[in-house]
């Protein structure tokens, strides 16, 4: 598995974004002195951050709840 991982890392090329993400990012066009659609690009970025954070938050909440419940049960 290590050899396969090294092979894929060594032969990796530039990743392409999906069409919607790529089209939403500013491409150097100026609209009234500002880059085109910066809010849409920021919106995509925040949605990705939230999709990454939610599973970890849920796991931490469930783990914390389990810890508290087990600790309460062991103190009785």
pLDDT band at 55 (very low <50, low <70, confident <90, very high): very high
Q: Which residues pair with 35 in a beta bridge?
A: 30
Has residue 42 been placed in a domain?
Answer: yes
pTM of the model: 0.47
Structure tokens at 57: 């938050």
Domain presence at residue 54: yes
Q: Hey, how many other C-beta atoms are within 10 angstroms of the C-beta on 40?
A: 15
Our count of domains for the chain comes to 1
DSSP 17: P
- Assigned domain for 4 exists: no
| Residue 52: C-alpha distances to residues 18, 25, 55, 56, 58 (Å) | 18, 20, 7, 7, 11
Residue 3 belongs to a domain: no
List, for residues 1-28, the tens digit of each pLDDT value: 888 888 888 887 766 656 666 565 555 5
Range of the domain at 29: 19-75
Segment holding 31, helix H or strand E: strand 30-31
């Amino acid at each position: 598995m290590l050899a396969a991982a090294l092979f894929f890392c060594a032969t990796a090329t530039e990743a392409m974004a999906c069409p919607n993400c790529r089209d939403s990012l500013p491409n150097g066009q100026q609209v009234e002195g500002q880059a085109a659609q910066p809010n849409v690009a920021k919106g995509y970025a925040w949605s990705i951050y939230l999709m990454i954070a939610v599973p970890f938050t849920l796991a931490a909440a469930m783990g914390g709840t389990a810890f508290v419940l087990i600790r309460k049960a062991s103190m009785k």
